[in-house]
């Protein structure tokens, strides 16, 4: 699985960090998403899917299994 985020779309809600803290974080100054791991393990794939589904700005994306 490959993960990426559209920083320009991010509204800093933090749902991605709550859902998948091993994969996402937020910048301290403005709360915009940071992808910590763009190639997560299979154990983290379900949390990435949840993070993408919860993102109010639809800024989280993934491809592959």
Domain parsing of the chain, residue ranges: 2-63
**pLDDT, tens digit (0-9, with 9 covering 90-100), for 16-33:** 999 999 999 999 999 999
* Average pLDDT value for the chain: 96
Closest CA to 47 of 34, 33, 28, 60: 60
Query: What region does 15 belong to: left with phi over 0, alpha with psi -120 to 50, or beta?
Result: alpha
**pLDDT, tens digit (0-9, with 9 covering 90-100), for 34-44:** 999 999 999 99
Query: What region does 14 belong to: left with phi over 0, alpha with psi -120 to 50, or beta?
Result: left
What is the SS3 assignment for 44? helix
Closest CA to 1 of 35, 54, 52, 38: 38
Q: According to the CATH classification, is domain 2-63 in 3.40.390.30?
A: no
């Amino acid at each position: 699985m490959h993960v990426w985020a559209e920083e320009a779309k991010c509204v800093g809600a933090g749902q991605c960090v709550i859902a998948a803290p091993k994969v996402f974080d937020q910048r301290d100054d403005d709360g915009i998403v940071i992808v910590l791991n763009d190639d997560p393990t299979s154990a983290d794939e379900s949390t990435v899917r949840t993070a993408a589904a919860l993102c109010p700005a639809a800024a989280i994306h993934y491809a592959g299994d």
